[in-house]
Structure 1
Amino acid sequence: MQSSTLYTMTRELSRPETSLSISARRTEARDAKQAKQLIQTYTTDVFGRINREESISYILEHSIFSLTLDNNQDTFYALAAFYDYPNVHGVSSNDWEEKWWKNFYGKNEETSKINAINTLFLHFFVAHPDFSEGCAEELINVTFKALPEINQILLCVPPQVTPESALEKYFQPIECDRSDTNCVVMICHRKDHFPTLFIRTARVQDNDDLAPLFNRYNDILKQTYGDFFVAELIESQDDNNKALVAECNGYAIGFMSISNEVNIDILNEVYSLSAFHGLRAKHPDDQWNHQMTEETESYLPNSDIYIHGDVTTHDDGNNHIKANPVLEAMQRAVGHGDSIESTTNITASVGTDKNNKHTKVNQGQLDHDSLTASDYITTPPIKSLEDLDNLQGDENSNNDAVLEIADTSSHRAKITKAQLAAEDPSRYIKPTLISQTPQFFGKEKAFAIQLFCISEVYEKRSYDFLQKAFDMFPDRDYCVITIPQMVPEFPLLQSFIRIPPRVNLPNIQELYLFHRAGLLRDISVERASEKHLDAIKRLTEHFSARERILNDFLDAVRSRKRSDTGLFLDAYIINVADRPSAMIIFSNEENIDYLRSQYNIEDFIYFNLHKRNDHIHLYHFVINPIFAYMTKIFIKEVLRKINKTCIYYPIFPRYADDEMLKHHSPTYATHYLLPVRPRRLIQYNLDQLKMNAPTDCVLGRLPSLTHSPFALTFTAIKLIMETKITINARIVIVGASTVGLAVLEALVMCPYLRFNNLTLISPHGMPGEFPPSHVRNLFLPSNLEYETEELNRLSLRSYVNIVCAKLISLNRPMKLAILDDETIVPYDHLLLCTGNQFHIIAPMQATVMNPLSKKAVPPKSDRMLFEPAPPNVLTINDEFDAAMVLKWLRMNHHTERKK
């Protein structure tokens, strides 16, 4: 992964007469060689005999967090590597808290709070001798700034050894109750470097400190409300509205305005909040359809294919969605002739909307089929579109027809803004199936952040506001905040959970949520047993994959192996405040050689620095949604407990065998796993190579790997604490051409970016939906298309919203893409990648019913035939068209034989 500069400043280092401009970044593998040159005698005395480049590389490869200091000219100054367990001989990494720390050091109130969640151990440190003291201070400051959950750093020193003066200045020894210890533990506190912010109620006098802070970022508030808008906002505090200030060194450096006056009904209509009980307390009259998969599963990074059909109500009380003929033909083209019909059970007391004609059915890969198949959706009120009236203008100039398909299509493309404002919002593409939103009637349990600003220097401590904010409203359990989609995600939101919208309106904002329980840091990990069965049943109550999760859980806790294959299986429980809040089921990764040969895993790790038993295969990861943002902490703790370093999770194509899919379930953990690119494999001539041919694992011919190609996600212990940059901008790509797929691949495969709103508009969805077929591929130009196997190894559909439709018009001022069925897709960035398309050509003034000779009317390649084509004239633009041609040929061939 690319290293990012975390902190940059000019600082007076060890020499008073010298000033250096230095920057801190994540350590890279190439730094090991330069670090070796800075090793001194006292380095080996404190950290052991680490005097070889391979030893340094091993430490960096297995570290939780490592930093390098250099300047803009790549001059190397210092390096530090941190772990979540001590480097003390005889102390195990998975139980040091219970068997070592509590027995020797955790006797007083301060040291008893030390655990693997809030503590790092310094395992390696080198610095330029002339600037070692300043480098040590800088590394400590950056570490505390980059990791808000860390409260102290510990240094374990052998007896009778004195660390170098740079470390001795910032680390103080901890008293030990016993004299027979084999080390001296020294501690460095956060409060001495980058302390927790003091949060208090705002005062009018804070305006002098806060007004310049607001104006530095934006002067809109000043222009709108005047110079004293902060003071007026502070004065307006009452029981429902509060203002908080973060104070440091006597100055106000941050501000937060909160209110418990939240329109929760609107939020429930626009956003998927059922997993959080609609932000209300439980009530006996709550109407929740338990037949449907919990909305939490819609947060998983899976693909959604949107098709549009009419909703009809039958006598059985269910809504039956008539499938789009396009999707139905896609199924029949590969031999599945049954009509596609999705049935959704609806609570009897709630009516259905017969006029809703734009309904989405999730047609994602099979192991993700249930992710959105039962989301509870309602159509937002038309009120949300009233602002569109203000944008009324020249309707002809504001709507650009993409293609004059026919008179009717052209008319539909010319929708005016007035018509758009009057339209039902159901015209907008929805990310989840429209059925019925659950109704909650309990007491409101949420408050909102209305205004927030903090100095850039202290923005990593934004989390400190939350405890005081919940103290202001003790009866509220949820904190919500909305931001425009084009606003970058700031550090405060890294502790929040993003809530997906039900409907993508043009002016919609991103909703983030935080639960009061997220303030807890009492986290423990234990091996699962049958006593946890009831807790796991509660966690998976509304999961579509509940049965397979429970079956694997019972196998893991009873026999530690899978009942059908005998494969090793294990399960661990993550407790928060002694309550089971997450569960993970895994096994050892048995096919590591195959993964290494087929995927570019070594873009992230060095295999030679990991043992063969350091790799695990993830089958299930279930988490309480209120702790979703702590997923990476949970994964880190599990890896520490089981002494592993790498975790792998496959994503199978939708046509894969059920045998392959039943052992895996959709997991929120993929938000924190990295997609791994497949390798470009060499095509070997095995007949010529004979005995010199590569092994079966390189060729992908292992007996245990007879299933379909899959996409691979992965993370390692050294990567788990890295934070991705989240981009919420709505990026719409029109056309599943080679260029369109290449753009999606570049965005999805970027390891340090996360795109939440990628959308592909294509008549037949994402290529790769059909099983590989050599005959079908003969109809397509192979040099212009992604092969089916390669697409399945990328699994772009797992990260992209897919709309099965054609673009016919663009409203550029309002940034709306209008589809052929009059649904609308809003966008912030639009990429037109339609590629080369074959079409039936009609000569000038010629029709099929009255053909003219070529001499009479010269043909023109830009003339398209819009009238019904002859049955024996077919165009092949993608794998769906090719499959339909094969179907047509088979049908006609059989007919001729019968004659």
Structure 2
Amino acid sequence: MFWMFQVEGVAVGFMSVCSRVNMQLLHECFDLGPFHGLCIPHPDDVLQPLEELSVKGSQDAELGTSNHSSPKIVEEPREPVSPEAMEGVQGRITEEATAEELLSAVHSGNTSEMEDIENLSQQSTMGDTDGCVSCLSLASISMPEETSDFRPIYKGASAAFCIQLFCIEEKYEARSLDFMNFIFSLFPDKNFCIISLPHLTPEFALIQNFVKIVPFHNCTLEQDLYVFHRAGLLKSIKIRLATLLDTPGVENLVSTLMLNKSILEDLKQYNEARRDHDGTPMKAFVAEVAEQIVGIAVIRDEMDVEYIRSHYNIEDFIYFSHHQREEHGHLYHFALNPVFRHYTKFFLKEILRLGYKSCLYYPVYPQIREGKFQSSYAHSLTSALHYLVPVRPRRQIVYPLEKLGINAPSKAVSKDPLSYALNHTNRKLTLEPKITVNAKIVVVGASNVGISFLETLVFCSHLKFSNLTLISTHGLPGKKLLGTEQRKFLASDHCFHDKDYALMSLCSWVNVVVGRMTAIDRAAKHVVLSKEEIVLYDHLILCTGQQYQVPCPTGADISQHVTNREIPNSGKQRYADKVPCNHFTLNDEEDCCKALSWIRNNSIIAEGNVIVYGNTIDTYTTVETLLNIGVRGSHIHLVRPPPTSTITCINNYSVESAVEEALRAAGVTVYRDALLAQWNEGRDPDPIHSACFTTPTKPFRLPCSMFFSFCEKNVDYETFKALNDACLVYDGRLVIDTNFHTNDIAIRAAGSLTKFSNKYYSNEWTHSSFSSKEIGFQLAAAMLSLFDPTLEPVTEPPADLDRLIPMYKGAKIQGGILPGSYHYLHIAKPAIPTPLEVQMAQPNFGLEIVTGNAKNGTYFRIHINKYKMVETITCLSKEPFPASNYIRLFGQHEQLLNNLCARYEDKLIPDLYSYFMEPWCMALFHDRFIDLRKELRQILTSKEEEELPSIEQLARQIEDEEINLKEKPRKYLKRVYQETIYKSLVEKSILDYLHYNHYHLPMYAWPGII
């Protein structure tokens, strides 16, 4: 049927609808349980598995099987589509499956027919599955690893009709929902209107009132399904404070939610005392339609305002001085019938108005292995998460609290509670629409590059990426709260820590598929996983990085006294046999957990011999970890293969000497220039009982209970095969251009997996030379230009610049705990690796500042380049030190460090560790110090007085000899600066900065404070 809509006799829109819907296909592809399968209830409906399950249990099972892939709905064809027509299986979603994806469309309860509002109470109004899922992924409850494949069977007639065509003139688009009244009047026996759209279709006004349905994990259709219920047309919704009489209605509403007890207990507490048990004022609100409760929300006064301000960038969204303390609210519960989901913003606005609040905060606590809450309160899911914005965490100063004494920040700022990700809304944000990006962006590899890329997209507050997917062999990192043993197995590049993952809560916004990429179908635009599952993509991001590989023994027979020279150089061979059970290559936290478990379960600590094979810094950190957990040094053998470069992994003789001495003191035996010849003397290597090695002189054999290999990092073979079979250009690494593109425009790549094309003539520089976090950020910035309409159009670079590779400026960092319990940190600018001695021999090397002694564990080295900038920092200490503070020193001018060079030359700095713990330098470590520097530079480069050039212009005139000076240029510039307005402007800017950030920097004084 086809209808046209007119205004004053002029057609402004039309709509074509059809009552025939392919229900079989919908039931096969989409989780329609919340809407009773879009069917009229029938006594023969099968809604639960044969084995009787509890409501909660069956809900969890259904939720576990649902995934946000590419759905499609079509008008019912003459011949029904069989299940066999469905090709491929969408990659299964793990327990970290994105809450945001599910929030957009999953709902809990047994939805029955709602013919009118009087029947509404018999429908499963109960808060969206959002509720259920949030309890899982947002409230830190673990989902079962194996989920049920049960699908309900509906025998009733179809209760839905579909929109086939819809068009409306742009200026009347806001009235799109008005069409639905007339359309529903034509189908009095239908309660649901559905529409399918290609997933890349931008959201328009009408569809924003619909609910997006979550597809099943085996759905590979390329359209999204949206549903609208007849009751959604009702405009009599009323938001008010809850009363005791609302309790039965709320019980009915939340009966299927996992945290319904928490909601009901808080509602009871509000009705009885209006305050929480600790005295915090609280309020409960209900949404009511025709005397039926369709929503519930519970808020409390936010008591940690100072902590939120100091630990999160909340001032990206509000000015704190414009909000009273009591106007900050904490959202604990929010459940709304999915039929009225399009009233969510209205509900939030009314909460702010009736609760006399201007801001609401909602925390998301991380999961832990035990599946218990980390929060002292059980926050149920808020189905309004889609309408909140994630707030970036702020980098914190590590304060020397004892040294600062009364000048230290308040406990409200310096306390260290359980970390959580913060979401927020306020009066202004409720009026700002988000731009929904439905493009399927699939990231392969949970490397630091991939995590940084996802972080950047997620924290774009004005955009909502509804189809972000991460494919990783072990899921998201940071999901296990590791002990110190696991964390120290591998060196760190200080990009992300466990706390950072908790503060981001990527699992709230990103689908996580656990699996390994085995193929890429570029024509069909999907990735094939190890179990023949597929994941569809519009944009594929490859950042798998490189991993330690199992070494391939040369096969030399050491009984023949073979040396390294006699072994033929057959190139790099791949180990293709079964990996021995006691052989370990450590690449991530999961590998570290398995290794530690093996050590404890196989008596390695008491009697085992451990071989650590490799030349990287991870060999040192692993040896230290083994010593730390109790393995005797005499049972540890550090075997180093012949070096492939003249540059060592530490590249500092003082540090290396201290570590070597510590190894000798611990009894660890070190073998150099040794090649692995055989395991178990050529017999079956599983498990490894002995290992044979050749050297330049004589071979040797070692007993072995456990073998760690850190010999070589390379691209995983399965990844290489997938790339090669997909005809992506591969030349030792995956070839990309300067904009991260491979030879397929839909596939980008970054990180150590890649290399620049040979056309740039820059084989020495790769992404491995730079900070992984910065690479991920730049990759996201390149992608955002495709989706963000607020960005300036990207201009094509000049023809002579498109052959230059980008040079990123972020520091390259490595650190860890080395043998001897030395805490090690090395920060340097991106550079082609060069021996330290060669660097220091250069005439423009600059100045080296060193205090302490490496062997005593007091070593601190700073390299100041010829421009007086901090270029390298190396620390080796027996005591832990604030590494995050020292990272902030990189790239600073030495004068900002309180004239570091002059003080060092005057022998006023005996110990740099103590020097950088002094109160004066705390501002250097502040996260907003870089903004102050930019502001001061802006003052000095701008023309503040009409008749006077800026300080920058004066400097240029002096350099170009346009001014004849009778005094030294520096003295002249200083005099001009002091005699003009610039000095007062700079001082005012600094004082404003200190005053505004006083909660972080109370150790500084300003005029009037004394």
TM-score normalised by L of structure 1:
0.56
Cα distance in 2 between the residues matched to 1:578 and 1:856: 90
Cα distance in 1 between the residues matched to 2:65 and 2:428: 25
From 870, 873, 876, give the equivalent of 2:586: 876
In the TM superposition, what whole-angstrom CA distance separates every residue of 1:421-457 from its partner, at most 9, and x where no partner exists? xxxxxxxxx9994421222333322111001122233
Cα distance in 2 between the residues matched to 1:797 and 1:889: 31
Give the 3-state SS of the residue equivalent to 1:483 in structure 2: strand
* Deviation (angstroms), 1:518: 1.3
Cα distance in 1 between the residues matched to 2:604 and 2:10: 85
Would the alpha carbon gap of residues 805 and 625 (structure 1) be closer, same or farther in structure 2, given more than 3 Å must change?
same
Cα distance in 2 between the residues matched to 1:700 and 1:659: 16
* Deviation (angstroms), 1:305: 12
Give the 3-state SS of the residue equivalent to 2:575 in structure 1: coil
* Deviation (angstroms), 1:732: 0.9
Cα distance in 1 between the residues matched to 2:63 and 2:6: 38
Q: Which shows bigger deviation, 251-260 or 595-604?
A: 251-260
Contact 1:432/1:502 (<8 A) preserved = no
Contact 2:267/2:298 (<8 A) preserved = yes
In the TM superposition, what whole-angstrom CA distance separates every residue of 1:79-130 from its partner, at most 9, and x where no partner exists? xxxxxxxxxxxxxxxxxxxxxxxxxxxxxxxxxxxxxxxxxxxxxxxxxxxx
From 552, 558, 562, give the equivalent of 1:842: 552
Would the alpha carbon gap of residues 539 and 853 (structure 1) be closer, same or farther in structure 2, given more than 3 Å must change?
farther
Partner residue, 1:747: 457
Aligned partner of 1:651: which letter?
A: V
Cα distance in 2 between the residues matched to 1:484 and 1:432: 31
* Deviation (angstroms), 1:746: 1.4
Identical counterparts, % of pairs = 38
Partner residue, 2:206: 492
Aligned partner of 1:291: which letter?
A: S
* Deviation (angstroms), 1:602: 0.5
Query: How many residue pairs were aligned?
Result: 551
From 228, 250, 260, give the equivalent of 1:514: 228
From 512, 517, 521, give the equivalent of 1:802: 512
Match status 1:887 vs 2:646: no
Partner residue, 2:727: none
Would the alpha carbon gap of residues 505 and 592 (structure 1) be closer, same or farther in structure 2, given more than 3 Å must change?
same
From 42, 54, 61, give the equivalent of 1:291: 54
Would the alpha carbon gap of residues 480 and 688 (structure 1) be closer, same or farther in structure 2, given more than 3 Å must change?
same
Cα distance in 2 between the residues matched to 1:638 and 1:651: 20
Contact 2:367/2:373 (<8 A) preserved = no
Map of 1:773-784 to 2, 5 A cutoff?
773-783=483-493
Cα distance in 1 between the residues matched to 2:519 and 2:453: 22
Partner residue, 1:363: 95
Cα distance in 2 between the residues matched to 1:431 and 1:448: 36
Gaps of 5+ in 2: 70-87, 111-143, 610-1010
Would the alpha carbon gap of residues 291 and 433 (structure 1) be closer, same or farther in structure 2, given more than 3 Å must change?
same
Contact 2:95/2:145 (<8 A) preserved = no
Cα distance in 1 between the residues matched to 2:269 and 2:560: 72
From 232, 242, 260, give the equivalent of 2:19: 260
Would the alpha carbon gap of residues 790 and 258 (structure 1) be closer, same or farther in structure 2, given more than 3 Å must change?
same
Cα distance in 1 between the residues matched to 2:5 and 2:343: 24
Aligned partner of 1:625: which letter?
A: P
Match status 1:738 vs 2:453: no
Partner residue, 1:634: 347
Match status 1:559 vs 2:273: yes
Contact 1:367/1:664 (<8 A) preserved = no
* Deviation (angstroms), 1:718: 0.8
Would the alpha carbon gap of residues 896 and 840 (structure 1) be closer, same or farther in structure 2, given more than 3 Å must change?
same
Partner residue, 1:674: 389
Would the alpha carbon gap of residues 887 and 847 (structure 1) be closer, same or farther in structure 2, given more than 3 Å must change?
farther
Give the 3-state SS of the residue equivalent to 1:855 in structure 2: helix
Cα distance in 1 between the residues matched to 2:518 and 2:328: 49
Cα distance in 1 between the residues matched to 2:233 and 2:273: 36
Would the alpha carbon gap of residues 892 and 557 (structure 1) be closer, same or farther in structure 2, given more than 3 Å must change?
same
* Deviation (angstroms), 1:846: 7.8
In the TM superposition, what whole-angstrom CA distance separates every residue of 1:488-528 from its partner, at most 9, and x where no partner exists? 22221111111111135333310111111111111212221
From 20, 23, 35, give the equivalent of 1:276: 35
Cα distance in 2 between the residues matched to 1:606 and 1:799: 27
From 205, 227, 247, give the equivalent of 2:6: 247
From 303, 310, 326, give the equivalent of 1:590: 303
Partner residue, 1:526: 240
Cα distance in 2 between the residues matched to 1:359 and 1:439: 24
Map of 1:603-682 to 2, 5 A cutoff?
603-655=316-368, 657-658=372-373, 660=375, 663-682=378-397
* Deviation (angstroms), 1:301: 13
From 402, 409, 413, give the equivalent of 1:694: 409
Cα distance in 2 between the residues matched to 1:892 and 1:281: 60
TM-score normalised by L of structure 2:
0.50
Aligned partner of 2:410: which letter?
A: T
Contact 2:17/2:162 (<8 A) preserved = yes
Match status 1:684 vs 2:394: no
Contact 1:549/1:620 (<8 A) preserved = yes
Map of 1:444-459 to 2, 5 A cutoff?
444-459=158-173
Would the alpha carbon gap of residues 748 and 869 (structure 1) be closer, same or farther in structure 2, given more than 3 Å must change?
same
Would the alpha carbon gap of residues 870 and 503 (structure 1) be closer, same or farther in structure 2, given more than 3 Å must change?
closer
* Deviation (angstroms), 1:279: 1.3
Aligned partner of 1:673: which letter?
A: L
Match status 1:828 vs 2:543: no
Cα distance in 2 between the residues matched to 1:243 and 1:366: 39
Contact 2:6/2:13 (<8 A) preserved = yes
Match status 1:538 vs 2:252: yes
Cα distance in 2 between the residues matched to 1:479 and 1:749: 34
Contact 1:620/1:667 (<8 A) preserved = yes
Give the 3-state SS of the residue equivalent to 2:360 in structure 1: strand
Contact 1:584/1:622 (<8 A) preserved = yes
From 565, 568, 576, give the equivalent of 1:855: 565
* Deviation (angstroms), 1:288: 2.2
Match status 1:469 vs 2:187: no
Aligned partner of 1:796: which letter?
A: L
In the TM superposition, what whole-angstrom CA distance separates every residue of 1:530-578 from its partner, at most 9, and x where no partner exists? 2112211211122122222222222222223345x55443311111233
Would the alpha carbon gap of residues 554 and 375 (structure 1) be closer, same or farther in structure 2, given more than 3 Å must change?
closer
Cα distance in 2 between the residues matched to 1:302 and 1:433: 6
Structure whose alpha-carbon radius of gyration is higher: 2
* Deviation (angstroms), 1:303: 11
* Deviation (angstroms), 1:893: 5.1
Cα distance in 2 between the residues matched to 1:448 and 1:839: 54
Aligned partner of 2:96: which letter?
A: G
Aligned partner of 1:506: which letter?
A: T
Contact 1:302/1:368 (<8 A) preserved = no
Would the alpha carbon gap of residues 858 and 885 (structure 1) be closer, same or farther in structure 2, given more than 3 Å must change?
farther
Aligned partner of 2:598: which letter?
A: W
Would the alpha carbon gap of residues 475 and 685 (structure 1) be closer, same or farther in structure 2, given more than 3 Å must change?
same
Contact 1:376/1:437 (<8 A) preserved = no
Would the alpha carbon gap of residues 726 and 432 (structure 1) be closer, same or farther in structure 2, given more than 3 Å must change?
farther
Contact 1:573/1:582 (<8 A) preserved = yes
Would the alpha carbon gap of residues 654 and 431 (structure 1) be closer, same or farther in structure 2, given more than 3 Å must change?
closer
Give the 3-state SS of the residue equivalent to 1:476 in structure 2: coil
Cα distance in 1 between the residues matched to 2:386 and 2:64: 7
Cα distance in 1 between the residues matched to 2:426 and 2:566: 70
Match status 1:711 vs 2:474: no
Give the 3-state SS of the residue equivalent to 2:584 in structure 1: coil
